[in-house]
Structure 1
């Protein structure tokens, strides 16, 4: 029988996806059939038909990319419970947490992330947590000092009772009976004590944020006196140091705010990450580094251990090293016994030139010969402290779309890397699928307005009901939606989650991604520069958190502001409402046997309205749940212009 130390830290299991492959090929066949049908019948149709052809040609190309990157699927099953059996050989690990604005990213969120990391089931003398504060905020520094005091109680409590969810706000939002612990008097008393201590911590942090730190800035806080967040020297503060080397104590906790000067570019998050790497190399020289986003780590801090299983598990495999693109990376001396492949990022660093610095760095890593593995343990690490939908989500999507398109058209494009032999073909396809987000906005937008355009111009772009060809788009619609729904259900997600994501995909494509593409075009024309926008983070919790659907419903309620990013979605909704009103009130007759619009166009228009249902509710909502009147007026004017354009087209 194998000794515990010889047990593998991970297993690689190939998925049996014969049925999904067959469904994907069937959808591809139907898409190609639809394109052929449109080509063969293009002479008898107008603008709608040809626009539909080019949009569907784009959708087909995207589906080919999708099929390519999903063809061979594997799962990595990690065993973090075996890590401690490797204790003598476990390397030091430095964990990086980044925050940039104490107002948009409340310090209590950073505190919860840090607390979950400090409580990892890993030798504390081999852990260090570095917090990068690009806002140079004394409130964030104060919050971390208070968090270190609370951690002296929280970490032993987590390890004593084997707490799985180690972000306190998430843990204490659940009922005590649902936590899976014993219900002994001792536990209940300690639980109440810990909850009271956390509420006191939260209150202190909230009070500090509310009064904008009006206290006397002396002692450790003197460096923050009269500080300008855009013009200041480097600040490094060791908040807690495990001086005794106690493996059961608390890990090191270090606060860093890098130097900033107005005339020197600071390269956003990539610059902050490189500073963290340099400071880490000087202070601890740990061979492994883990990058953590504050709003992505609260639900399952153990994902760091899952990632470690992958990294350590391949130390004897000379052909590749695993990296989570690049949620964690290796930085160590070239004579390290793990092999030269693992030293690549030490020379690369986090690359500048894109708002999505992680994708750019990951692309370069893969070009150096690295391979990646998806680490997705249960429960999911991504909790999503920001709202599922609303201004923060839209700005985040815009930033991603902008950065991804910048990479695609840059000298570091995956196409160029593949032609020069640095990337494998399927790696290139994966990056192309990801980086084409912004480019999808135009076909998505055109296809979304086609039903309304057809109704208003009394034309059609769907095959007629009495034609056998109508089965092609109907089959694509039904099979695709059932296929994607089955994928959600197989991984334990709900129908509600599936519908939300399908709807938000349409909304983001026609708004946030559209603005992302516009930003890149303006940059290419020399009219503007890319701006890194920090998104507003909101911590959500529920007293009845046991019901995931209930949590998603609360967190996903759509919010609006006066940002122009909501104008496209509002305009599309108003256009379809006008088109449906025109058709239903009899201004346009429904034709199933002629060249006029038919029932298919009306169904398509209704589907678009359903996708933009949050915007419809926003027309009648109040406060942050209502669309601002300025946005409604601008969108209404654009919608009327579109209707007038349709009239001119039909008259011509």
Structure 2
């Protein structure tokens, strides 16, 4: 029997545990054992498929297509010791690379749902497909972070009145998604604080690096750019380590990565303030309360960004120039959005 042994970190316990019953989870990064035979018998290509930005994922996918099996192994005693990124810049660069690589595989001839379903079970190919198109989360997240807020600022309700029974559907969906995520984190040994941190960094990555990585993959497919493999920096300086140990984000990254995030926060701050005013002084609370709650949730989960914008003075804060640029972008977006909404 062809078997690979794969070990991964706790953050993947839920997903990888589910794939373990479908000929095994995907190959991911480090922390795994492999049989040398699996790479030597890899068709005409020996070793990892390094022409992909996600060489681990793609190599594992090809091995599974050839009949190899992987096993999820998570002993009580840790088997590996390693380091990970501890600052926002490296996290976003790393996620951009992964997002680009996943989407490249998804839109290539090796699309898991097409290529994989002919060589493995449909459920296993769906597992690979979910990962390949996972960066597409950036598009609905951008919509949730901007469209309801734009409508709120223009006095347009997007959801039914809270007195209407149909509003319970939206409340149920929102609450059930959050409770499901909390349950998964708690079931894998985490805490509510762990869930909050995971939600926060997921939201940050989705509206920045996942978006850029996805767009880069499509541009590379059209021949407009060429994908590049940027190594993740894992060398830490004392000042950076001190901030990390204090639980402070280090926002020293490029303006291109930081400005979309800050723009969304500025937009939601304006929408929340406007929504509270409308509920208190115009009697529109039944119409607007769900949109106000959505903006409030985004602001609560993004408190570290607000702190970096307004409350910190250290070198790891968000530069005032980025905040000013984001305010200008938000103003332009609101103006254009208002014109479009008023046309209808």
TM-score (norm 1): 0.45
Give the unaligned 5+ runs of structure 1: 1-9, 11-66, 76-319, 333-340, 542-550
SS across alignment from 1:468: coil
| In 2, Cα distance between equivalents of 1:357 and 1:73 | 19
The answer for the alignment partner of 1:386 in structure 2 is: 85
Query: What's the offset of the Cα at 1:504?
Result: 1.2
1:562 offset after TM fit, Å?
4.2
Give the SS at the match of 1:373: strand
- Decide whether the 8 Å contact of 1:449 with 1:572 is kept in 2: yes
Are residue 329 (structure 1) and residue 34 (structure 2) matched? Answer: yes
- C-alpha contact (below 8 Å) 1:452/1:601 kept by paired residues: yes
Other-structure match for 1:524: 221
Match of 1:632 among 299, 323, 329: 323
The structural deviation recorded for 1:382 is 6.7
Deviations 1:395-450 (A, max 9, x none): 1111111110011111222123235x212211111111111122221111111213
The answer to whether structure 1 residue 372 and structure 2 residue 70 are counterparts is yes
Maintained 8 Å contact 1:560/1:625: yes
Say which one has the larger Rg. Answer: 1
- Which residue in the other structure is 2:134 paired with? 437
Which has the bigger relative contact order, CA under 8 A and spacing at least 6? 2
1:535 is matched with 232
> Is the Cα contact below 8 Å between 1:414 and 1:423 reproduced in 2?
no
Does residue 1:618 correspond to 2:308, yes or no?
yes
Residues in 1 aligned to 2:264 and 2:24: alpha-carbon distance in whole angstroms: 44
Aligned to 1:284: none
Instruction: Determine helix, strand or coil for the equivalent of 2:72.
Output: coil
Q: CA deviation at 1:536?
A: 2.2
Contact 1:321–1:342 (Cα < 8 Å) also in 2: no
Contact 2:53/2:101 (8 A) holds in 1: yes
**Structure 2 CA distance for partners of 1:589 and 1:367, relative to 1, 3 Å:** farther
Matched, 1:354 2:56: no
- SS for the counterpart of 1:372 is strand
Alpha-carbon offset, residue 479 of structure 1: 2.5
Residue 591 (1) aligns with residue 284 (2):
yes
Aligned to 2:257: 565
1:323 offset after TM fit, Å? 8.1
Aligned-pair CA distance for 1:322: 7.0
Q: Distance in 2 between matches of 1:323 and 1:484?
A: 20
- Aligned counterpart in structure 2 of residue 425 of structure 1, from 122, 125, 142: 122
Provide the rounded CA distance (Å) in 1 between the counterparts of 2:187 and 2:265.
33
Quote the Cα distance in structure 1 between the aligned partners of 2:57 and 2:167. 41
- The superposition leaves residues 19-53 of structure 1 with CA deviations (integer Å, 9 ceiling, x where unpaired) of xxxxxxxxxxxxxxxxxxxxxxxxxxxxxxxxxxx
Contact 1:330 1:343 in 2 (8 A): no
For the residue of structure 2 that corresponds to 1:531, the secondary structure is: coil
> How far, CA to CA, are the matches of 2:178 and 2:192 in structure 1?
11
> Would the aligned equivalents of 1:456 and 1:646 in 2 still touch at CA under 8 Å?
no
Q: Give 2:174's match in structure 1, choosing from 477, 482, 494.
A: 477
Q: Which residue of 1 aligns with 2:9?
A: none
Q: CA 1:437–1:73 in 2, change beyond 3 Å: closer, same or farther?
A: closer
Contact preservation (8 Å) 2:278, 2:285? no
Is it true that 1:641 corresponds to 2:332 in the alignment? yes
> What displacement does 1:515 show?
0.8
Q: How does 1:1-40 map to 2 (within 5 A)?
A: none
- Residue 454 of structure 1 and its aligned partner are, at CA, apart by 2.0
SS in 1 for 2:42: helix
Q: Map Cα deviations across residues 562-583 of structure 1 (whole Å, 9 max, x no partner).
A: 4111111111001111222333
Alpha-carbon separation, structure 1, partners of 2:25 and 2:139: 33
- In 1: Cα distance, 2:199 partner to 2:106 partner: 25
Query: Relative to structure 1, is the Cα distance of residues 624 and 451 closer, same or farther in structure 2, using a 3 angstrom cutoff?
Result: farther
CA distance in 2, matches of 1:369, 1:392: 35
Question: Is the 1:322–1:373 Cα contact (8 Å) retained in structure 2?
Answer: yes
Tell me how far 1:485 sits from its aligned partner. Answer: 1.6
Q: Is the contact between residue 331 and residue 346 of structure 1 (CA under 8 Å) also seen in structure 2?
A: no
* 1:533 to partner: Cα distance: 1.7
CA contact (8 A) 2:49 2:55 kept: yes
For 1:395-410, list aligned pairs within 5 A. Answer: 395-410=93-108
Shift in alpha-carbon separation, 1:374–1:552, aligned structure 2, 3 A? farther
- Structure 2 distance, partners of 1:447, 1:461, is 11
SS in 1 for 2:34: strand
Counterparts of residues 275-294 of structure 1 (less than 5 Å)? none
Measured against aligned partners, the alpha-carbon deviations of 1:133-178 in whole angstroms (never above 9, x if no partner) come to xxxxxxxxxxxxxxxxxxxxxxxxxxxxxxxxxxxxxxxxxxxxxx
**Maintained 8 Å contact 2:48/2:59:** yes
TM-score normalised according to structure 2 size: 0.82
| Superposition deviation, residue 481 in structure 1 | 2.0
Residues in 2 aligned to 1:331 and 1:619: alpha-carbon distance in whole angstroms: 50
Larger proportion of strand: 1
